[in-house]
Structure 1
Amino acid sequence: MPRPKSDIDNFQDEIIARWSVGESIDDIFEYLTTEIAIGKRTLERRLSEWQLFRYQSRTTITPDILDKIRYLTFHHGYKDVSIIRDLGREGIHLSPRALQFVRLKHGIKRRYRTDEERNEVLAQARRFIENHSTHSTSVRSYGRSYLYNFVRSQAGLLVGKNRIYQIYKEIYPEEVQQRRRATWINRTDFQVPGPNFLWSLDGYAKLADFGFQIYGCIDAYSRLIIWIYVGRSATTAISTLKQYLRTILTAGVRPCFTRADHGVETPLWAGAQATLADQDQSVITYKDEQGVVHQHRQGTRLSSVHLMGPSTRNIKIESWWRLFRSGSTDRWIAFKSELINNGLFIPNDKCDQIAVYAIYGPILRKEFAEFVQIWNSHTIRKQKTRPHVRPGIPYDLYNTDVDADWGFPIKEGAKSYEAAKIMYSAVENIEIDDFMTPETTDWCEEQLEIIGYNGMLNANEDQIRPHLQIYLELRDIVRYHVISGEAPHLELIQPPTGGTEAYIQLLDLLRNNHPVFANENLRGDEIPQEIAQGIQGIQEEDYYINDE
């Protein structure tokens, strides 16, 4: 005769979840006594009947695993199903109930059940925004969606969009009045089949006359920003080659196709993309509209892996630049224009530029990195009128297991990895990240400390013209020092130069030193017309977000 069902059976899933992540019998028993009347012997008997002692594996929740769960929850904005997927790829296997238990036990919450909890989190969010505004003005450009993602990823706080925006309106009422709604063109067309199928690359020149050149790369499927570069040399081929090579070596993958304009910065990294494709004899298989299977072979032929075209048709990255401007650079464009128009900053003047880099270089890099993080972890919503727009979080979409990853691995031991390392060795010691020589940077930091600069925004004037008086004071100190001829000698880092000729020289060097580069013949097929037309037809509405 079967045992009569006990109240404990209603808690089987919860008990198994707690057992699987290392909860002791005493801890589980203590939990159950708050829910039902039960004896410890009954619990032990049920654990034995469910064969947990014999078969159920247990995962020890270490501090590293907790940090990973916390990071994916707040930094990436992941739901539990995506957290379980990423943990599983690292050999950490949790059930949905077990993950939920771990999160709640350690305060990694998405909802707050009591008014006391809710009010405390709102107070923390207010303090975070107010404290952040003493260091940076970036939050003033954020609307409801960007603000929500910013607070979640940077402060580790999940507060409803309306609640957090109400705090923002109380702190910055004048900014709310000035916000504009974005507009878009409603079109539909080609969908990218999966992550790493197409990377779209381009430069952003709106701050170039302020000394800041920007270059970025976006994955067309997920809309994840693969990298963004802020420095002195985004428009030189050597710089973009180094950016590309260190990215694919760090990520361990190269895209199937790339898309860029005809700029002078493109040939080197596009050539590297083709060279790497040739090393592993890359082949992709696809079906046309009639269902016929085709194979496309990639190789050293540039047109087998790369699409050239004007910037205005490089929609994926061009559309993102518009959002980047409204969310991050508009204030800086207005500020640098005011400085230039009033003669307070002269482009290409060494003294002015040194002062700008010393004060604003770290600030811009931090703010732009924050905006990229917000973008990569924000939610692109499903839209009825545009069914081709793929909803989701860019981080999550890029790591999806629903659609195939079209990237080609760049892993140690493969010919492509060896080739990438050789090419990178030729540019590894070329400086592209520092604005100034180390001696100049150190000297400027000493001067800023002497004049009392601590990075804080102290007055209302600083909110519109950040650190203007500090900049003017440092600029005069720099100019006096340069005129005096005293040590140290202040100098900017010169952008690396080189274009197609440099790439040819690099290939000659590689051919002479490594057999994998010995074949002179171009290999690879032209990108099929149906794929090329589809990529060219990608439209900009994928990027619309009503960040009111």
Structure 2
Amino acid sequence: MEYIKHYFEEGHSYAVIVDMLATYHDIKMSLRSLKTHLKDAGMYRRNNYSPINDVRNAIRAELHGPGQLFGYRTMWLALLQKHKLRVKRDDVMRLLQELNPQGTELRTRRRFVRRTYHSMGPNYLWHVDGYDKLKPFGFGISGCIDGFSRRVLWLTCGHTNNDPAVIAHNYTSCVQRLGVAPMRLRTDCGTENGTMAAIQCSLRHNHTDYYAGSRSHMYGTSMSNQRIESWWSSFRKARAQFWIELFGDLRNEGHFNGSNEHQFLLQFCFQNVLQD
């Protein structure tokens, strides 16, 4: 009965409770038997509701954090599991309309609120990333973009884009060509970026601003590296998709098997074209 009560209080449906009892506890029970056990224990879905003021206060507490993003179904589940409050979903919907009208309106429109990108100016933040969509065919692409102007600072194509020496060379060549290092450098957590990150921190070691030294480089996920990811999307639509489909057709027709020999052959035939 302890398991039944636990799953019931978590808000699972009767069918799900029956399945979880059988899967995790080896307790075979029919839906009708479950309802009988719940009735004998005085556990019902449609009575013993919590005071509405307690529910309102709990919703207010949730709206001060991530709960401001919740729809009424998620909020109902949070009230049940986190606050141990029993309430009708319709009441949760009404209270959300009362306490969070702006969020309710945004969800009604199914509107996605995008984060705003901020940059202090040119060379404040460089975004570096590798493009791997052509990597199975032997073409590793590395790129860097200035977050303020969206200027492409380098875009190289070679046999690899995960060699730390190659990435560091791209960075140092760019810094030497422009005569300036960025205030901040953003990359993903790949090991290929380690040498470049160390060079960036060394170049900014003697500076006196907040982002001097180790703070001049930041790691993050590739998906959140939004400036370069946005450019990769445009790059694929305008350029890369043609080569992805061309090389994919060669593979599907049996003319490319992914071996080093075939990759070197493609590089020999198309390297200059891809560089252009």
Normalised by the length of structure 2, the TM-score is 0.57
Give 1:348 shift: 2.3
Q: Aligned to 1:282, which of 189, 192, 207? A: 207
Once the two structures are superposed, what CA deviation does each residue of 1:469-524 show, in whole Å capped at 9, x if it has no partner? Answer: xxxxxxxxxxxxxxxxxxxxxxxxxxxxxxxxxxxxxxxxxxxxxxxxxxxxxxxx
Instruction: Return closer, same or farther for 1:323/1:196 CA change in 2, 3 Å cut-off.
Output: same
Once the two structures are superposed, what CA deviation does each residue of 1:148-173 show, in whole Å capped at 9, x if it has no partner? Answer: xxxxxxxxxxxxxxxxxxxxxxxxxx
Q: How many residues align?
A: 166
Aligned ranges 1:180-329 → 2 under 5 Å: 187-278=114-205, 281-284=206-209, 296=210, 298-299=212-213, 302=214, 304-329=215-240
- 2:164 & 2:114 partners in 1: Cα distance? 34
SS at match of 1:283: coil
- 2:144 & 2:243 partners in 1: Cα distance? 22
SS at match of 1:339: helix
Q: Aligned to 1:357, which of 260, 267, 270? A: 267
CA-based RMSD? 1.6
Instruction: Return closer, same or farther for 1:321/1:297 CA change in 2, 3 Å cut-off.
Output: closer
SS at match of 1:313: coil
Amino acid at match of 2:235: F
Aligned ranges 1:114-129 → 2 under 5 Å: none
Amino acid at match of 2:268: A
Q: Aligned to 1:332, which of 240, 243, 246? A: 243
Give 1:233 shift: 2.0
Indicate conservation of the 8 Å contact 2:186/2:219, yes or no. Answer: yes
Indicate conservation of the 8 Å contact 2:184/2:211, yes or no. Answer: no
SS at match of 1:316: helix
Aligned ranges 1:25-44 → 2 under 5 Å: none
SS at match of 2:191: coil
Once the two structures are superposed, what CA deviation does each residue of 1:36-63 show, in whole Å capped at 9, x if it has no partner? Answer: xxxxxxxxxxxxxxxxxxxxxxxxxxxx
Give 1:297 shift: 5.5
Aligned ranges 1:107-506 → 2 under 5 Å: 187-278=114-205, 281-284=206-209, 296=210, 298-299=212-213, 302=214, 304-350=215-261, 352-366=262-276
Name stretches of at least 5 consecutive residues in structure 1 with no aligned partner.
1-183, 285-295, 367-548
Amino acid at match of 1:310: T
SS at match of 1:258: strand
SS at match of 1:269: helix
SS at match of 2:223: helix
- 2:150 & 2:123 partners in 1: Cα distance? 10
Identity of paired residues, percent?
33
Instruction: Return closer, same or farther for 1:185/1:259 CA change in 2, 3 Å cut-off.
Output: farther
Amino acid at match of 1:218: I
- 1:354 & 1:194 partners in 2: Cα distance? 41
Normalised by the length of structure 1, the TM-score is 0.29
- 1:199 & 1:359 partners in 2: Cα distance? 32
Task: Give 4+ residue runs of structure 1 displaced > 4 Å after superposition.
Answer: none
Give 1:188 shift: 4.5
Amino acid at match of 1:336: F
Amino acid at match of 1:319: S
Give 1:283 shift: 2.4
Instruction: Return closer, same or farther for 1:298/1:263 CA change in 2, 3 Å cut-off.
Output: same
Give 1:187 shift: 2.2
Instruction: Return closer, same or farther for 1:185/1:201 CA change in 2, 3 Å cut-off.
Output: farther
